[in-house]
């Protein structure tokens, strides 16, 4: 009989505990969600963008996702064809299709036609006017890729750019991402030879093992220094060696700011 009471008591306490946990979880979730919701203004902006994309299907879903790589909330608005990504200030940061329309015409677009289509679409979407077309190539049998990047005295910053995949024959955007991270504004004061020397010393290789060196904008990273907390964009010398190692050398102070390697 005593055991029976014990079981009833334990069950009662367990139910109370479980209920408390559920109520707490719901309350905390509500307060968390309140801080990040897709607003009507964002829906209106997305509707305008979808109109520019000739996608008149109704909006089906909205959600807020946290992007671990960008360390920011992404506001997603979707219809059956596209997902539009906006930042918290209602700026367009991405267009991603869920399907593509097959090309039916036999008159495939040439490079000039592809360029005309994408430059017009770029303007229609109100994308940054100070980015210039820096790359235009065929990606596969149907899809082309274009990049619009900010030009700093002949050095393009890929972190201030728009990367877009599209089908010119269909006037169709397949995927588009807006990158908007400025660089450190520093001048190039390190020579190629000095940067090569720094990189080869860092890798403990002779300079003769360097196969290429060019100026670029690169993000500092932890590739050669796990304690490096800098993630900003620097004007850098990109030095590649014969063993497929890559070293980023800051073009203003000759310090190694990060690197990478080719997966070959």
Binders of another protein among 42-101, rule CB under 8 A?
65, 68-69, 94, 96-100
Total residues binding another protein (CB under 8 A): 37
163 lies in the binding site for another protein (CB under 8 A): yes
Distance CA 9, CA 17 (A): 12
Q: Of these, 77, 109, 118, 174, which contacts another protein (CB under 8 A)?
A: 174
Nearest to 136 by CA among 122, 153, 152: 122
144 lies in the binding site for another protein (CB under 8 A): no
262 lies in the binding site for another protein (CB under 8 A): yes
Query: Is the separation of the CB atoms in 164 and 172 below 8 Å?
Result: no
What is the residue whose two structure tokens read 């097959």? 102
What is the token pair recorded at 50? Answer: 């979808």
Calculate the CA 71 to chain-centre distance.
Answer: 11
Binders of another protein among 238-257, rule CB under 8 A?
246
Nearest to 144 by CA among 183, 184, 100: 100
Q: Of these, 113, 221, 228, 252, which contacts another protein (CB under 8 A)?
A: 221
237 lies in the binding site for another protein (CB under 8 A): no
Q: Considering the complex, what minimum distance in angstroms separates the CB of residue 216 from another protein?
A: 9
Side-chain half-sphere of 49: how many Cα atoms within 13 Å? 31
Consecutive H or E run containing 117? helix 111-124
Interface residues with another protein (CB under 8 A) are: 65, 68-69, 94, 96-100, 134-135, 137, 139-140, 143, 145, 147, 149, 158-159, 161, 163-165, 174-177, 179, 221, 223, 246, 260-264
């Amino acid at each position: 009989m005593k055991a029976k009471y014990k079981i009833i008591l334990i069950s009662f306490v367990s139910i109370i505990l479980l209920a408390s946990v559920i109520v707490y979880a719901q309350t905390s979730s509500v307060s968390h969600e309140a801080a990040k919701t897709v607003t009507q203004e964002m829906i209106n902006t997305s509707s305008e963008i979808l109109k520019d994309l000739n996608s008149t299907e109704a909006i089906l879903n909205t959600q807020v996702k946290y992007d671990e790589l960008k360390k920011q909330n992404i506001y997603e608005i979707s219809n059956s064809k596209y997902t539009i990504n906006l930042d918290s200030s209602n700026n367009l940061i991405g267009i991603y299709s869920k399907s593509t329309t097959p090309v039916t015409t036999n008159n495939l677009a040439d490079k000039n036609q592809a360029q005309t289509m994408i430059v017009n679409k770029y303007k229609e979407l109100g994308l940054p006017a100070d980015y210039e077309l820096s790359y235009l190539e065929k990606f596969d049998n149907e899809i082309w890729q274009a990049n619009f990047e900010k030009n700093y005295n002949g050095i393009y910053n890929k972190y201030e750019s728009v990367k877009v995949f599209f089908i010119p024959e269909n006037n169709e955007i397949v995927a588009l991402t807006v990158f908007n991270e400025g660089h450190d504004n520093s001048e190039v004061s390190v020579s190629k030879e000095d940067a090569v020397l720094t990189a080869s010393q860092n890798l403990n290789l002779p300079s003769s093992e360097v196969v290429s060196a060019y100026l670029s904008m690169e993000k500092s990273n932890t590739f050669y220094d796990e304690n490096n907390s800098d993630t900003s964009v620097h004007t850098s010398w990109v030095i590649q060696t014969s063993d497929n190692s890559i070293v980023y050398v800051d073009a203003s102070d000759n310090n190694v700011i990060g690197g990478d390697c080719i997966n070959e």
